[in-house]
Structure 1
């Protein structure tokens, strides 16, 4: 009890801009009850439904996607506010393995972010834990359009991150699928529907979306809208609007011109705050899909299999060590604190 009280005081001081988090009931086990959602559990334990991702990333092996299964014992983590550790000593300027990433992709990558972003820190940790670890470097190119073609395709760098993987089984000719190997997911992204708070839109099953008008910016993936068993686009079951920017989508939601915006949780939350739409546009509780962020390497790279094995083995060990949950929890709290 003393440990819990001390942790609550720490949280109260750290999150002075987020009073609801100060009385968090955390570092405890919770047995899921019928009717529970990640949102309702976060409301109970943190006083803030937006912190549902803390429970999500800590308990992914015990969830069905992002669905809570009654009877499962979930762990509700506390957050200490610790700063990101220095990069592993294996990270050097002149290195055996060269990695490419870019900025402007918060909270995943960014030179000015703690740990240079959650994905960068996860990749650092995975390479440190990989079998037969080698020295590696991380280079930055903020023009993402250059990464896959020509830089990675022409092997100017060995591997790049973080990249979404298309549905390669359904689209084997997709240029990413044809040209690159993908690692196991470094992390998964919940893709959410963001609707007007007063719209009455409730997504519990796919039939609830049929007949709706969804918004997703031009150039973003759409394979989750057309996956087997769904086929919303091919079957004309929904209308998809594709303006230039995420902000355009969220303004259209607020104005009632579309039923919902369909983007990842982090992009949606940031756009709501940036556009001043807090309490006007909200995420629906059931994710539309889950998409992975991956490390990629050219299929023509002579050491592609070796490097891919190294990163995958490191990611597996990372998840088994508890460091994945620690890194994710810290970055998630920083992300939500910044939004508030």
Structure 2
């Protein structure tokens, strides 16, 4: 009898505690983020969000990188709760705050004035920055990190990343490190000293000249003797691979892509080479549509990445997390949504 009374009493206490816990449970609504707690299951969360425990598959489908199995819900994970009539849409606008989980901050470094990829006045900091945020969110458990912006691209890799001031820099173009024979000193240094994430983007890098003057250029040798403008701090490995280096051409390297196009208009440069998205924006803003011509035959496809130093053990861990998150958002369709917003 004593045992029975104890059991009944325990059952009553459990019922009371369960009711109290339910009363204090987080409210769950669609198109929001829910932080998981001890004892949560996807079916329970679906029951609270949709009044339908069988809707757990919707939660699993839109939270890749956070959930690895419908049967395992990590404690403290931030789950996006979609609306049932729009289950494939990830959160738009500002991302949920990433809560501290590590004793050491992860420090990212990026630049500005490189639309649509990074820029202080761009939505969510630009295409690359939004991808970094989402990859960090979906690549593992919550982590405390910050993103700093420096306008001086030329100092990002050396000395700031090299000296350990920052863990990861982005976005940077990756040379063909399988063939360094034609690479210059800076590109060779990148191959020898940097670790690379999986690509953030593939980008068309092309060349522009004054209309009526460059239409007959079809090979790099046709540009011999010309002055080529590409901003300071930008990659040069494609120019090196094509032989577009001194003494074949003269290189000008002002601070910004806008400076290059202004030099083109002023006949201080014969060619400008930047990515096509940046070029289109600047040409339109300067009203140069009728005065410029693209040299399509010199175009190449390049990839942008996050990078870290080989000598920084933290970098390798962070890049693995980013790779996992990037893979997840590409497979879930979020990459297309982010791209549509910025491009």
* TM-score greater than 0.5 by the shorter chain: yes
Q: Residue 147 of structure 1: SS of its match in structure 2?
A: helix
Is 1:231 paired with 2:243?
yes
After TM superposition, the structure 1 = structure 2 runs for residues 100-179 of structure 1, keeping only pairs within 5 Å, are 100-130=109-139, 132-144=140-152, 145-169=154-178, 170=180, 171=183, 174-179=188-193
Pair 1:278–1:158, CA change in 2 (3 A):
same
Whole-Å separation in 1 of the counterparts to 2:245 and 2:118: 31
Whole-Å separation in 2 of the counterparts to 1:248 and 1:157: 28
Q: Residue 272 of structure 2: SS of its match in structure 1?
A: strand
User: 1:280 corresponds to which residue?
Assistant: 291
Pair 1:146–1:91, CA change in 2 (3 A):
farther
Deviation at 1:118, TM superposition (A): 0.8
Q: Residue 163 of structure 1: SS of its match in structure 2?
A: strand
TM-score (norm 2): 0.59
User: 2:205 corresponds to which residue?
Assistant: 191
User: 1:206 corresponds to which residue?
Assistant: 219
Q: Residue 226 of structure 1: SS of its match in structure 2?
A: helix
Deviation at 1:323, TM superposition (A): 1.4
TM-score (norm 1): 0.60
Gaps spanning 5+ residues in structure 1: where? 1-81, 333-340
Q: Residue 308 of structure 1: SS of its match in structure 2?
A: helix
| Root mean square deviation of aligned Cα | 3.4
Whole-Å separation in 1 of the counterparts to 2:184 and 2:266: 39
Deviation at 1:120, TM superposition (A): 0.5
Q: 2:307 aligns with which of 279, 285, 296?
A: 296
Deviation at 1:247, TM superposition (A): 4.3
Deviations 1:5-40 (A, max 9, x none): xxxxxxxxxxxxxxxxxxxxxxxxxxxxxxxxxxxx
Deviations 1:247-306 (A, max 9, x none): 454345446675532222233223323433122114345561122221111211223332
Contact 2:230 2:253 in 1 (8 A): yes
Gaps spanning 5+ residues in structure 2: where? 1-89
Q: Residue 303 of structure 1: SS of its match in structure 2?
A: helix
